[in-house]
Amino acid sequence: MKIYWFSFLLFIVFSSTLWEALADTHEEFIQCLSHNNQTSSIYTPSNSSYSSILQFSIQNLRFDTTETPKPLVIVTPVSEFEVQQVILCAKETGMHARIRSAGHDYEGLSYVSEVPFVIIDLINLRTINVNVNDKSAWVEAGSTIGELYYKIAEKSKSLGFPAGVCPTVGVGGHFSGGGFGVMLRKYGLAADNIVDARLIDANGRIIDRVSMGEDLFWAIRGGGGNSFGLVLAWKIKLVDVPEKVTVFTLDKTLEQKATKLVHKWQYVAPRFHEDLFINILISRVNSSEGGNKKQTIVASFKSIFFGRIDRLLSIMQENFSELGLKREDCIEMSWIESTLYFAGFPRGASIDVLLSRVQLSTRYFKAKSDYVYQPIPEGSLEGIWRLFFEDEAESAQVILNPYGGRMDEIASSSIPFPHRAGNLYEIQHLVYWDEEGEEVAERHTRWIKRLYSYMTPFVSMFPRAAYINYRDLDIGVNNVKGYTSYVQAKVWGIKYFKTNFDRLVHVKTKVDPSNFFRNEQSIPSLCEKQR
């Protein structure tokens, strides 16, 4: 007992000394910025705007509690020069930095840290320049997907870009992890269509594709955010879209043979023509079929086809007639209108809604991901449905996104994102809840872990693959100090990146040997000893 109390007292003394030192570091960091006349964009807890700036881009309420660690400083630079000064001052004073473009990181790593830190919030870096003549655009990293889509549509009705469906997601993190959406079967990922970038490295240099070299340029397109540097802007290659696309949504309950339809979808969706994308959202709903109120499972088949209705109906009749698609189920619209459709906005909404950075709703949630190589048997699908009838699954979802098409044609080593040929589809597991409290959160996270465990025999193995943009701190050994050694990192690294992981480590060691850019699941540097 005496040894225990002695150790405890040592811990208290050490912690007190540490925090005093960190407070000094925090003041030194602010003084450093002040020397460069960068004071208008600095927020500390003593500022009246601090809380609103911090909370504005928090997209997961799990990380908006009184217990959530808060930054000592938030900086919202308005120019590349100011970002450069923040990086240089942070490195000079030893401040740990987290980089936030729109705050959609599933584990909050862009705005939460267990060690004292500064948030570099890129919300003011949102310039987008679209060049219709060479079908390209420069997009600053603080822009959202919705802002990008809006700017493209302003200039052209025949160009688009293959990014995600949620318009409030920031391009900085989205592109860094790969970035997929409803055009992935036709054009691949967002990161597959990046042709240049401007990045600030750990030494404060602003470099582009030529000056950074092809190894670093390879790593930042899918290697995960906040590992190699701070990307200021991306140059993207725009893609051709037809004058009209066709969309539909068909909801099928268990009583309408949803299980058989989901089972059949596994065989046909990855083999459709690349112009056709149909994903499935599984959820629990209240049903009143036959006059009896009860709960059931609904499989919502949502689609975009890059063509007109007649051709779509022909493809569906030949390949997936069981779904029962009819002409009246289909809607023809422009590509930009389809981005609103997939984002959940009502028909006829103005495209101006794409400019809002505020989500339709913000809740507590936990997510996981999987990849499927072989179709899941019908009986095993029914096991998933049983889990959905548990109390914690009231607001749970499973989203099945088909691969195939262009995704089968791009080499797994083309960029760090390795999930290509051989994948039938990707699964996103999600559970939402609205009540506060640690016990409520634990119940829901235990539920999704049970679902994840149940899925083990039916998904990829050796490794059990995962998607870096659906960050999941459960899948590896993580150090709470925001640092991971190579051995620790490889546990989750091979799940996200497979054989590309070691090449990412090599690039990291070369460009950021001191591991300035780091988080709980960033690529480790072999040069730095564990802290």
Q: Is the residue at 497 inside a domain? A: no
Distance, CA of 71 to CA of 407 (rounded, Å): 39
Do 268 and 180 lie in a common domain?
no
| CB atoms closer than 10 angstroms to residue 80 | 16
The DSSP H or E segment spanning 407 is: helix 406-409
Q: Which of 172, 264, 181 has its CA nearest to residue 220?
A: 172
Q: Is the residue at 481 inside a domain? A: no
Cβ 194 vs Cβ 175: under 8 Å: yes
Do 427 and 279 lie in a common domain?
yes
Do 176 and 143 lie in a common domain?
yes
For every residue of 512-526, DSSP letters joined together read -TT--S--TTSPPPT
Query: 85: which 2 tokens?
Result: 């000064």
Domain boundary among 467, 500, 523: 467
Q: Is the residue at 507 inside a domain? A: no
Q: Which domain holds residue 10?
A: 2-116
Burial 159-174 (b: 16+ CB within 10 A, else e): bbbbbbbbbbbbbbbb
Q: Is 111 a catalytic residue?
A: no
Q: Is the residue at 69 inside a domain? A: yes
- Report pLDDT for 398: 98
Cβ 432 vs Cβ 447: under 8 Å: no
CATH code (residue 89): 3.30.43.10
For the stretch 173-176, contacts whose Cβ atoms lie closer than 8 Å and that sit 24 or more positions apart, written own/partner, are 173/101, 173/102, 173/104, 173/105, 173/110, 173/225, 173/469, 174/104, 174/145, 174/469, 175/221, 175/231, 175/234, 175/236, 176/220, 176/221, 176/222, 176/223, 176/224, 176/225, 176/226, 176/231
The angle at the Cα of 229, spanning 227 to 232, to the nearest 5 degrees, equals 130
CATH code (residue 196): 3.30.465.10
Distance, CA of 383 to CA of 295 (rounded, Å): 16
Catalytic residue (choose from 149, 187, 470, 486): 470
- Report pLDDT for 15: 43
Angle, to 10 degrees, between the axis of helix 258-268 and the axis of helix 378-388? 120
Contacts of 239 (CB under 8 A, 6+ apart): 135, 159, 160, 161, 162, 183, 186, 187, 193
Averaged pLDDT in 10-residue chunks for the chain of 531 residues:
42 44 72 77 93 96 95 96 94 95 96 94 97 98 98 98 98 97 98 98 97 98 95 98 98 98 98 98 84 88 98 98 98 98 95 94 96 98 98 97 98 98 98 96 98 98 97 76 78 97 98 96 83 45
Cβ 71 vs Cβ 117: under 8 Å: yes
Do 153 and 193 lie in a common domain?
yes
Do 93 and 160 lie in a common domain?
no
- Report pLDDT for 198: 98
Do 31 and 99 lie in a common domain?
yes
Distance, CA of 393 to CA of 283 (rounded, Å): 8
The angle at the Cα of 484, spanning 83 to 50, to the nearest 5 degrees, equals 40
Do 178 and 294 lie in a common domain?
no
Domain count, the chain: 3
Q: Looking at the DSSP assignment, which residues form a beta bridge with residue 73?
A: 118
Q: Which of 438, 150, 156, 387 has its CA nearest to residue 282?
A: 387
Q: Is the residue at 56 inside a domain? A: yes
167 phi and psi, to 5 degrees?
-70, -15
Cβ 353 vs Cβ 419: under 8 Å: no
Residues in the chain, overall count: 531
Q: Is the residue at 257 inside a domain? A: yes
Domain boundary among 116, 148, 182: 116
Do 266 and 409 lie in a common domain?
yes
246 phi and psi, to 5 degrees?
-120, 135
